[in-house]
Each structure stands twice: as structure tokens, then as C-alpha cells.
Structure 1
Amino acid sequence: MNKVTVLGSLNVDTILRFKRFPKPGETLPLAGKSIAGGGKGANQAIAAARAGAQTTFIGKVGQDQEGDFMVKQLTDSGVDDQYVIHSDEAATGSAFILLDSSSENRILIDGGTNQQVTTDDVKAAQPAIEASDFLIAQFETPIAATIQGFELAHAAKRRTILNPAPATSAVPVDLLALTDLIVPNETETETLTGIHITDEHSMIKAAEKLQAQGIQTIIITVGSKGAFWMRDQDHGFVPAYKVHAVDTTAAGDTFIGALSSVLKTDFSNLAEAVRLANRASSLAVQQLGAQPSIPTKAEIQAAERA
């Protein structure tokens, strides 16, 4: 069983569903409204735990009902919450997900306590980092905290996985140097490299550019098409499973969490781990909501047998 620690965000998601996005100045009725647990970090941790990894979370929530709700989402999925801090500095993070009838989404985020995670908070979780096979982080918490976590992981010879989302071109070179595996989608890849992703040739060029910045293992996810991977000079493309998508909100997070649950620390099974992560992601997009849609190991295995 892999041991995974996730440093990241916890958000309460408000999902607003409608037929189409309104035009400027236009008012449209909602087709539905729901509340669910979210945040890229929490999604990835829950995906890892449900897929079978022993998972610990590092993060921060407010002293509010939303914070209690988010911690319960973690613990109900078997995630260790001992390094989740309850803070009175701000409210628990929140996100508003706009979802149209074609399953296209647009997301607005209020970071709240996610933006209050400090290097000291990460240092306090050093035992969990040192005991893990992988440390995963995103960009919904301060980059300084992520650098601290990755430094602790490398000092303990543990592997690091960076999901550079939300996309930013201002990624510190010292963070890239501490990253063992980077997992951007096509938009984030273009932001990082300046290369527009159109086909496998452009993916190879973008991955080579990331390798030139010190990251030897790259996975580029391209939604319903699948995922490209490169390890040193070896590379390949794993097609996605064809399903009817209802909500793609947590698809990428499910991919990363499931990947971490089966990936070997020497990355020798990278292609097979990507294939299984694609399977988990294909299950997640068939249900509404971020965390409610994340599949369990049993569900992934059942889909594999079907």
C-alpha cells in the first residue's frame, strides 16, 4: 500500500447548474443548486485514499461549520486529518462552480484559510512527509509552503508530485528543481512552456522543455482524449475511456489521487498507473459534484472487469 501525503486546499463547493452560460446583462434560471466538498488538495487526497493509499492531509480550515464539514469529508474517506489546522484567521475556503448542460464548467474560488497555510504548518507535518512515498501539492495554497514541503520530502528521499493548478507562469525554479513528477493539463502546460498543445508532437516538445527545467517525469492530461507521459527519453500516450460526462470538476484531481495510489516510487509502472488513473477519472466525470463523484478502489476494479 502506497503512503501519500497531500498538501493543499479544502473548499466547500456550491454547484450552480443551468442550460447555458448567460450573456452579459442576461438573467437565466438555475436548473439546480447543490453543495459538496471540494478543493484540489482535498479532492486528490480523497481520491488517493478511496483508491487504496494510506493518506494524510496538510491544510487549514476556519473555525466554522464549513471547516467541520470539510474535515468530515476527509475522515469519512479514511484520510488522516491530524495535520489539518482549525484557524480563526479566515473562513474556510469556498468555490462556486458554474456548470452548463454540456458539462462545461467555470470555477470561482475564495481561498480563505487555504491562503493562510505557512511553512511552519508544513514543518509540523514533517513526520507524515518523511513516512510517505509521495508528497502531492497544487497552487491553491502558498508556494512558499509547497517549497518547504518538497524540501523536507527530498531531504528524506521521498518523491514529490506537483499539480501546477491553477495555471501560473511564475513558478519558482527552486520548486521545479524539487519536483519529481509534474502533472499539468494542456492549458497549464501551455502556461508553463509557451507551447500550444495540439497533438503528440507538441506534447513531446512541451515535456522536453519541462525536462530542461529539471523535471524528468511529466504527465500531460488532455481531458477526454487521455494522457501523455514522458520519463527521461521514453514516452507514450494512454487514451481516455469513452463515457458520457456529467460533471468534469474533479476529473484531474481524481486522476492524480488514483495515480499516486498505485505508482511505484521508481516510476517503473508509469504507463500502467496512467491507464488506471484514466479509468478512475472516467468514473468521476459520470457523477455530479467533486468529492461525491470520486470512485473507490472497488468501483475502479469493477470497471476494470466490466
Structure 2
Amino acid sequence: MKRITILGSINVDVILEISRLPKPGETMPMKSLSTAGGGKGANQAIAAVRSGAATTFIGKVGDDAYGEKMLTILKENNIDTSSVIIKKGGQTGQAYILLQESGQNSIIINGGTNREITADDVIKAQNSIKNADFLIAQFEVDIERILEAFIIAHKNKVVTILNPAPAKDITDDLLKLTDLIVPNEIEAQMMTGIEITDENTAAEAAKILRERGVKNVIITLGSQGAYYLTENEDGLIPALKVNAIDTTAAGDTFIGALCSQLGNNLANIKEAIKYATKASSITVQTLGAIPSIPTIKQVNG
């Protein structure tokens, strides 16, 4: 069983179903409103554990109703929350998701306590990092905390996986500590300056990322699939054609599911991507983030 530790965000998703995005100055009704567990870190953790990995979470929530709700969800999914801190008076992260009829979404984030993870919090959680096969992080927590955690991971030969989302500037110091980076095409373009439209442009961007210090690259390309580049191989794994209802958490499902199947030396990366692609194709067929993430039985069924 893979041991995965995730340093990441914990949000409650507030989902507003709408026919389309409103124009500037326009007022329009929504079809419905619902809430669900979310946050890129929490989504990835649940995707990993539902695909058979032993998963530990490093994060922070407030002592509010949303924090209580999210801790309950994580524990119910058998995630080790011993490194999740409850901040007195803190506000748990929230995401407001504008979900269109097309299945596409636009998301507005209130980081809350996700942005209040400290260096001391990372140090206190170092055993959770040392005991893992993989450490995963995303950019809904501060980059400084990720860098500190990745340094601990490298000293202890733990494989580091970075999901650079939401897109932002990234230093080479962090890239050099990253064993595998998994951006989508927009995030990869921001880091490399290459407009990614197909396999060839994805390959160009992946080579630039390796030149900046990353050892292995997977660029997810939406309906086109996922391009990967390692020291030994590269290729494009095509996406599966499905009827997408809600794309929320598709990328997070891909990463969590991927890591549950990866070998520590990443030698089986092609097979792991195929598994992750199938998992994410199931996610987009159901409304919501955490409720839509499949189990290993559903993926292999």
C-alpha cells in the first residue's frame, strides 16, 4: 500500500448552478445552490485513499462549522488528520463554484486558514512527511511552506509531487526539489511561455520544465489527454470520451489516483496515467468535488 502525505488546502465548496456566466453588469438567477467538501488538497487526498493509498493530511481549518464539516469528511474517508490544525477563531477555506450547463466551471477562492499554515506547522508535521512514499502539494497553500516541506522530503528520500495550481509564478528553487510536476496546459504555459495546443507544444513546455530542474513532467490537456516526459520515455495518453456534467476536481482526482498507483521510481508512469485518466473521467460525470471522486473498484470495474 502506498503511503501518501498531502500538504494542502481544505475548503467547503459552494456550488452555484447557472446556465452561463453573467455579462458585466448583468443580474441573473441561479438554478440551484449546494455545498460539498472540497479544496485541492482534500480532493487529492480523498482520490488517493479511495484508490487504495494510506493517506495523511497536513493542513489547517478554523473552529467553525465548515472546519468541523471538513474534518468529519476526511475522517470518514479514513484519512489521517493528526497533522490538521484547528485554529481558534479561524475561517475555514471556501470555494464559490459557478457551474454552467456546459459542465465548465469558474471558481472564486477564499483561502482562509489554508493561507495561515506556518513554518512551525510544517516542522511539527515532519514525521508525516518522513514516513511517506510521496509528498504532494498544490498552490492553495503558500509556496514558502511547500518549499520547507519539500526540503524535509528530499532529505528523507520521499518523492515530491507538485501540482502548480492555481497558476502563479514559481521559483527554480522549488522546481529543483520537485520530482514530478503535474500542471494543466494553462499552468504549464504560465511557467514556460509556450502556448500549449497539442502534443508537440506540450513536449516543448515539458522540456523547458526539465531544463529548470524538474525531473519528470505530466501536463494534463483536458479532452486531449495527458502528455508525460521522464528521463526514459514520453508520450500522450488520450482522454476518455464521456458526458461531462461537472469538471470540478477532475484534475485533483487525476493526481490522487495517479499517486496511488505509481511506483517509487515512477517506472510504471504510463500505466498509472491510464488509471488516473479513467478515474478523472468518472469524476466529471457527477456533480460536486468529493462526492464525485471514484473508488478503485469503480475505476477497475
TM range (shorter): over 0.9
Residues in 1 aligned to 2:211 and 2:255: alpha-carbon distance in whole angstroms: 23
Q: What is the CA-CA distance between 1:196 and the residue it aligns to?
A: 0.3
**Paired positions, count:** 301
TM-score w.r.t. structure 2 length?
0.99
- Deviations along 1:143-189, whole A, 9 cap, x unmatched? 11111110010000110000000001x21221111000000000000
AA of the residue aligned to 1:229: Y
User: In the alignment, what sits opposite 1:191?
Assistant: 190
Measure, in 2, the Cα distance between the counterparts of 1:76 and 1:134: 22
Amino acid in structure 1 at the alignment position of 2:123: K
In structure 2, give the amino acid aligned to 1:260.
C
- Whether the aligned pair in 1 keeps the contact of 2:115 and 2:140 (CA below 8 Å) is yes
Does the 8 A contact of 2:64 with 2:90 survive in 1? no
Q: Distance in 2 between matches of 1:222 and 1:126?
A: 34
1:81 aligned onto 2:77: no
SS at match of 1:102: coil
In structure 1, the partner of 2:70 is 70
Asked if structure 2 preserves the Cα contact closer than 8 Å seen for 1:43 and 1:253, the reply is yes
Q: Which residue of 1 aligns with 2:24?
A: 24
Shift of 1:259: 0.3
C-alpha contact 2:202 2:227 (8 A) present in aligned 1: yes
Corresponding position of 1:264: 263
Matching residue of 2:51: 51
Q: By how many angstroms is 1:233 displaced?
A: 5.0
User: Residue 90 of structure 1: CA displacement?
Assistant: 2.6
Contact 1:118-1:144 within 8 A present in 2 as well: no
> For residue 215 of structure 1, what is the amino acid of its counterpart?
V
Task: Name the CA distance, whole Å, in 2 between partners of 1:177 and 1:17.
Answer: 41
Quick one: distance in 1 between partners of 2:114 and 2:155? 25
The Cα shift of 1:24 comes to 1.5
SS at match of 2:157: coil
Structure 2 letter corresponding to 1:226: G
Q: Is the 8 A contact 1:50 1:78 kept in 2?
A: no
Matches within 5 A, 1:1-306: 1-88=1-88, 90-168=90-168, 170-302=169-301
Provide, for residues 184-225 of structure 1, a one-character-per-residue CA deviation record: whole Å limited to 9, x for no partner.
000000000000001111111101000001112000001122
Cα distance, 1:97 vs structure 2: 0.1
Runs of 4+ in 1 over 2 A off after TM superposition: none
Whole-angstrom CA distance in 2 between matches of 1:273 and 1:36: 28
- The aligned amino acid for 1:184 is P
In 2, Cα distance between the equivalents of 1:299 and 1:156? 34
User: How far apart in 1 are the matches of 2:17 and 2:73?
Assistant: 22
The worse-fitting range, judged by mean Cα deviation, of 51-60 and 71-80 is 71-80
SS where residue 174 of structure 1 aligns? Answer: helix
Q: TM-score, normalised by structure 1?
A: 0.97
CA contact (8 A) 1:59 1:117 kept: yes
**Aligned equivalents of 2:298, 2:119: Cα separation in 1:** 37
Q: Gaps (5+ residues) in structure 1?
A: none
Cα shift at 1:89: 5.3
% same residue: 53
CA–CA distance in 2 between the matches of 1:222 and 1:61? 32
Deviations 1:226-264 (A, max 9, x none): 100000252000011111000001000000000000100
Gaps of 5+ in 2: none
Q: Contact 2:175–2:214 (CA<8 Å) still a contact in 1?
A: yes
Equivalent position SS for 1:282:
helix
Task: Tell me how far apart the structure 2 counterparts of residues 282 and 43 of structure 1 sit (CA, whole Å).
Answer: 15
